[in-house]
A and B are shown apart, each in its own frame.
Chain A
Amino acid sequence: DAKTTQPPSMDCAEGRAANLPCNHSTISGNEYVYWYRQIHSQGPQYIIHGLKNNETNEMASLIITEDRKSSTLILPHATLRDTAVYYCIVRVHTGANSKLTFGKGITLSVRP
């Protein structure tokens, strides 16, 4: 899987949008961008994923640049419960082994 680069941490104010960046400059044409988050002592929670187009669901929006070398996860109205480690992952299907490779992620702290 392609390598991703995320800053180690960021913070934002409650109620404001949180924009979490991710670089994946070596991404291939058939690799998806996935975002998960992990709140302390819980399992990773799926947020959103995309291939080329921007995506939106009830949790977040995913903006992928036209060259696909970077993306941004947007939490439109961050709450204290959004404080977590957020992982950006690029994923390619390699036969039956479709494991996820989690990096160190970015720690988002939402302040009151």
Chain B
Amino acid sequence: DVKVTQSSRYLVKRTGEKVFLECVQDMDHENMFWYRQDPGLGLRLIYFSYDVKMKEKGDIPEGYSVSREKKERFSLILESASTNQTSMYLCASSTPDIAQPQHFGDGTRLSIL
């Protein structure tokens, strides 16, 4: 089975802090994604990566950056956390083939105080 592991299930940080969310997948997938999920807004794509050191902006990249130094690891960085970034963050991975599904981690519920 595909395993996508997010480093923390729950995280509490303060405004202005630099926050790192880590995601690791064990299926040698080329594509990795970061989404955030908020009530009433569904899942929104923040960034995705289709190869090591490659990244593309999703729908809501402002206030975030990403890093993909190794194929299995995709990090989301909140440069200076703000309260409106309190959310559930979900990482996913997949092959490039849309006939194959994206697989999600269990999410990180991040609270910015």
A and B interact physically: yes
Which residues of A are in contact with B by a Cβ distance under 8 Å? 32, 34, 41-46, 49, 51, 91-93, 96-104
Which chain A residue lies CB-closest to B108?
A43
Query: Does B96 interact with chain A (Cβ within 8 Å)?
Result: yes
A96 touching B106, Cβ below 8 Å: no
Query: Does B16 interact with chain A (Cβ within 8 Å)?
Result: no
Q: How many residues of B contact A (CB 8 A)?
A: 25
Most buried by A among B42, B48, B99, B101: B101
A87 CA to B60 CA, complexed, in Å: 21
Query: Does B12 interact with chain A (Cβ within 8 Å)?
Result: no
Query: Does B74 interact with chain A (Cβ within 8 Å)?
Result: no
A26 CA to B90 CA, complexed, in Å: 28
Query: Does B28 interact with chain A (Cβ within 8 Å)?
Result: no
Which residues of B are in contact with A by a Cβ distance under 8 Å? 4, 31, 33, 42-43, 45, 48, 50, 56, 58-59, 90, 92, 94, 96, 98-99, 101-107, 109
The residues of A that contact B109 with a CB separation of less than 8 Å are: 41
B102 touching A100, Cβ below 8 Å: yes
Q: Could you tell me the dominant secondary structure of chain B's interface residues? A: strand
The residues of A that contact B105 with a CB separation of less than 8 Å are: 43
Which chain A residue lies CB-closest to B101?
A46
B107 touching A46, Cβ below 8 Å: no
Chain A nearest CB, measured from B6 CB (Å): 8
A49 touching B101, Cβ below 8 Å: yes
Contact A98 B101, CB 8 Å, known A43-B107, A103-B42: no
A98 touching B96, Cβ below 8 Å: yes
The residues of B that contact A32 with a CB separation of less than 8 Å are: 98-99
Contact of B103 among A42, A46, A93 (CB under 8 A): A46
A44 touching B104, Cβ below 8 Å: yes
The residues of B that contact A91 with a CB separation of less than 8 Å are: 98
A103 CA to B37 CA, complexed, in Å: 11
Chain A nearest CB, measured from B55 CB (Å): 10
